[in-house]
Amino acid sequence: MTVVAESVDLTVPPSFADVHAAAGRLSGRAIRTPLLENLQLNEICGGRVLIKAETLQRTGSFKFRGAFNLLSQIPERHKAAGVVTCSSGNHAQGVASAAAILGLKATIVMPKDAPQIKIDNTRSYGAEVVFFDRHTESREEIVEAISASSGMIFAPPYDHPHTIAGQGTCGLEISQQADEAGAPLDQMLVCCGGGGLTAGIALALAEKSPSTKIYAVEPANFDDTARSLDAGQRVSNDGNHRSICDAILTPTPGEITFAVNRELLAGALSVTDDEVREAMRFAFNTLKLVVEPGGAVTLAAVLNRKINTANKVTAMTLSGGNVDPALFCSVLGG
């Protein structure tokens, strides 16, 4: 498969310096999303809870950060061929949007059951969408075939140093905003699929707020990061399970992301689909935010006492906000 940038060693995790450099590339491109605080949520949790609203990010998710950081570093001689990636929807939109800004062609391999809003948004940026069956086909094999036949550069959804460094800018902002709020962070909860956002935030906070304990949050039965941390090596999920959290249903942690997360995480938590639905309703009714299932797992964790928040300052990511309208209506009506 074609390498994005030959100068990058894909076996070596990024550093804080890479996160800092990514922040420079994203300046004026990514939105510095707010770190919100809600009194009712604080009362429920018995402490301060700071909400990083990446639902308000460009394309509705943090994925734009990593995608733009990666695509902006593609060598000039490879740009004409364009980029290809695989995604259930948020990375798809991030890559499509970044490609449009940078004048690159983009092909996105998406599961047939991806939310229609994510498919439509991806196409709206000018990207071509190729569908696959997530239960019977390998998206990696499809991407590899497209890359081999077209020369398109592969833009990994999470397991690439540039992607991780770009996502880390979210953590850099969180540390700055927590300082501005006079709220030194005791713990940080991150929605986790392949682990790119988790690893990026962990790198940023290890430098800027080293006493902060960082936890990944995953859907029940898709807790591959939690089980990998326990085993000390990457393990995979059982492909027979299902969840409404379509954005974070990766089969196993990334090699690079797990190398970072194994060293820097305090642990990992999991939540059920019903707990996620409850969190989506709370976000809408109380926080006044529209959050998709995969983006609501952190809120579900604190609402359901998966971690002690009493007398602590807890930060969390809420990302993204690209939820299918029919699903959202059914959740709100539940």
Beta bridge partners of 317: 52
The identity of residue 92, as a single letter, is A
Q: What is the mean pLDDT of residues 314-318?
A: 98
pLDDT at 4 exceeding the cut of 80: no
Alpha-carbon torsion angle 237, 242, 243, 248, nearest 10: 40
pLDDT of residue 25: 98
Q: Quick check: pTM over 0.85? A: yes
Q: What is the mean pLDDT of residues 292-296?
A: 97
Q: Give 199-221 pLDDT, tens digit per residue.
A: 999 999 999 999 999 999 999 99
Paired tokens of 17: 């310096």
Paired tokens of 1: 């498969």
pLDDT of residue 11: 79
Domain boundaries of the chain, sorted by first residue: 28-58+160-332, 64-154
| CA 110/CA 183 separation, integer angstroms | 40
Same fold, 28-58+160-332 and 64-154: yes
pLDDT of residue 239: 79
**Residue 240: how many CA atoms within 13 Å on its side-chain side?**
0
**Cβ atoms within 10 Å, residue 103:** 8
| CA 13/CA 64 separation, integer angstroms | 20
Q: What percent of the chain has pLDDT over 70?
A: 98
Domain 28-58+160-332 architecture: 3-Layer(aba) Sandwich (3.40)
> Residue ranges of the alpha helices (H) in 113-266?
116-124, 139-150, 161-180, 196-208, 224-231, 255-264
Q: Are 188 and 308 in contact (CB under 8 A)?
A: no
pLDDT of residue 3: 43
Domain 64-154 architecture: 3-Layer(aba) Sandwich (3.40)
* Banded pLDDT at 123 (limits 50, 70, 90): very high
Residues marked as catalytic: 63, 319
| CA neighbor of 134 nearest in space, from 154, 109, 159, 153 | 109
Q: Give 37-56 pLDDT, tens digit per residue.
A: 999 999 999 999 999 999 99
Q: What is the mean pLDDT of residues 134-153?
A: 92
pLDDT of residue 194: 96
pLDDT of residue 7: 55
| CA neighbor of 25 nearest in space, from 154, 163, 213 | 163
pLDDT at 334 exceeding the cut of 80: no
Q: Give 218-260 pLDDT, tens digit per residue.
A: 999 999 999 999 999 999 998 789 999 999 999 999 999 999 9
* Banded pLDDT at 5 (limits 50, 70, 90): very low
**Cβ atoms within 10 Å, residue 331:** 22
Mean pLDDT for the chain overall? 95
